[in-house]
Amino acid sequence: MENKVLLKIENLRKFFAIKSGFRKKYVQAVDDVSFEIRKGETLGLVGESGCGKTTLGRTVLRLHEPTAGRIIYDGEVIFDGKNVKQNKNMKDYRHKMQIIFQDPSASLDPRMTVGEIVAEALDIHNLYPDKGKRKNRVAELLDMVGLNREHANRYPHEFSGGQQQRIGIARALAVEPEFIVCDEPISALDVSIQAQIVNMLEEMQNRLGLTYLFIAHDLSVVRHISSRIGVMYLGNMVELVDAKELYKNPLHPYTKTLLSAVPIPDPEVNRNSQRIMLEGEIPSAINPPSGCRFHTRCPVATENCKTQVPEFREIEQGHFVACHLV
Ligand SMILES: Nc1ncnc2c1ncn2[C@@H]1O[C@H](COP(=O)(O)OP(=O)(O)OP(=O)(O)O)[C@@H](O)[C@H]1O
Ligand SMILES: [Mg+2]
């Protein structure tokens, strides 16, 4: 892994407008999130369902247009909320930044053959205009992900979930991307084949020098593949640090509760730690709690936490946390 920053996200915000009766309300799916991703690393992203992981991943790629903030890719500002003129045409970046979806069957067009699915992005970017070379490229991609060249003429429904995800990966790799958002790429798959897909993604990363934002529900999945891990709660990034450090020295009360739910076979981590249960439901992103959004469920919250929004700040070298009590 190099130390060069590939992607810099500054104060990113994505609100969805929804109708509620006659009024317009906003879902604050991602609010004021800042972080960097270094070239060649895997940044793991975890948090409960609905905390904004998918929205963040898609907004970074501008598949959702951000509500505010800045996105800098490889030194170039590609989105600057305040300065619309700066906003780049994403067509120049689409082939550098790709996404792999959670549900492979839903993300593959059932009317297209596997070959057409994989070649579609090549055509959009006009990468292999020569028919023969295009066919070879598709065959090469299917080989790469452990499928068969003959599979190019078949349809997605003829494949298992794991194979469908391989097709999705081949499609993402077709345009030679540098950065891939992996949005829970294994959570819809059989446990028995999850490791195969993770191993393949890691192998591709080494071979092609890829950078990943790897989204997962819980910490056990991202533990081994991530160099650093970010934890989200209700639209905010609450902690971000080296993967090893997160397990050894979690600082945010929410991270501690998440960790207490995963069994960790690590002698350095206190085995006697109790499982901490969070009280109450996750609050609504339409009307999130004031101050620290976690205060309504935090076991150690004080009066101050109810009114003051904690700053996401660097507590130790490379260890970011948003909590008044740290
Ligand atoms: N297109 C949309 N329109 C309105 N609200 C949306 C839209 N997409 C997501 N949301 C809302 O934004 C919030 C974040 O959703 P998101 O899908 O990003 O969460 P997530 O962390 O990926 O959850 P999961 O782990 O279940 O995939 C949720 O409250 C969700 O209902
Ligand atoms: Mg999601």
Name the DSSP letter for residue 290.
Answer: S
**23-82 pLDDT tens trace:** 899 999 999 999 999 999 999 999 999 999 999 999 999 999 999 999 999 999 999 987
Cβ-based burial of 193 (10 A; exposed 0-12, middle 13-18, buried ≥19): middle
Task: Supply φ then ψ for residue 268, to 5 degrees.
Answer: -75, -20
Q: How far apart are CA 44 and CA 243, in angstroms?
A: 8
Q: How far is the CA of 271 from the centre of ligand 1 (A)?
A: 34
SS3 299: coil
Task: Report yes or no: 119 and 112 within 8 Å, Cβ to Cβ.
Answer: no
The strand pair at 68-73 and 76-80 is best described as antiparallel
Residue nearest to atom 8 of ligand 1 (CA): 55
Ligand nearest to the CA of 51: 1
Note every long-range contact of 109-116, with CB atoms under 8 Å and residues 24 or more positions apart, other chains counting. Answer: 109/156, 110/155, 110/156, 110/157, 111/155, 112/155, 112/156, 113/152, 113/153, 113/154, 113/155, 114/142, 114/147, 114/151, 114/152, 114/153, 114/154, 114/155, 114/156, 114/159, 114/167, 115/152, 115/153
Q: Is the CB–ligand 1 distance for residue 27 below 6 Å?
A: yes
Residue 245 has pLDDT above 70, yes or no: yes
Residue type, 46: V
Instruction: Tell me which range, 2-6, 20-24, 53-57, 125-129, is most confidently predicted by mean pLDDT.
Output: 53-57
C-alpha 72 – ligand 1 centre gap (Å): 24
Residues with Cβ within 8 Å of 269's Cβ and at least 6 positions away in sequence, in order, are: 247, 248
- Please report, rounded to a whole number, the percentage of residues in the chain having pLDDT higher than 90: 80
pLDDT in tens, 145-193: 999 999 999 999 999 999 999 999 999 999 999 999 999 999 999 988 9
CA dihedral (100, 101, 103, 108) positive or negative: negative
**CA distances in angstroms from 217 to 51, 60, 168, listed in the order given:** 10, 19, 20
Is 53 close to ligand 1, i.e. is its CB under 6 Å away?
Answer: yes
Ligand 1, atom 10, residue with closest C-alpha: 29
Which atom of ligand 1 lies at the shortest distance from residue 217's CA? Answer: 25
Per-residue pLDDT, 271: 47
Residue 267: the pLDDT is: 55
Q: For ligand 1, what atom is nearest to the CA of residue 18?
A: 4
At 300, the amino acid letter reads V
Compute how many other C-beta atoms are within 10 angstroms of the C-beta atom of residue 312. Answer: 19
For ligand 1, whether the C-beta of 121 sits within 6 Å is no
**Do the bridges between strand 319-321 and strand 68-73 make them parallel or antiparallel, or are there none, so unpaired?**
unpaired
pLDDT confidence tier of residue 200, bands split at 50, 70 and 90 = very high
**67 CA to centre of ligand 1 in angstroms:** 15
Residue type, 70: R
Considering every ligand atom shown, identify the ligand nearest to the alpha carbon of residue 50 and give its number.
Answer: 1
Q: Is 283 in the pocket of ligand 1 (CB under 6 A)?
A: no
Q: Give the phi and the psi of residue 87 in degrees, each rounded to 5.
A: -60, 120
Q: Which ligand is nearest to the CA of 45?
A: 1
Q: Where is 131: in which H helix or E strand? A: helix 131-144
Per-residue pLDDT, 134: 94
**Confidence (pLDDT) at 270:** 53
CA distance 237 to 234: 8
The residue whose CB lies within 8 Å of the most ligand 1 atoms, and thus the one to mutate among 55, 59, 65, 215, is 55
- Given a contact cutoff of 8 angstroms between Cβ atoms, the answer to whether 14 and 56 are in contact is yes
Taking residues 229-258, what's their average pLDDT? 96
- pLDDT tens string 253-309: 999 999 987 765 555 555 455 667 777 788 999 999 999 999 999 999 999 999 999
161-172 pLDDT, tens digit per residue, is 999 999 999 999
User: Which of the ligands is closest to the CA of residue 218?
Assistant: 1
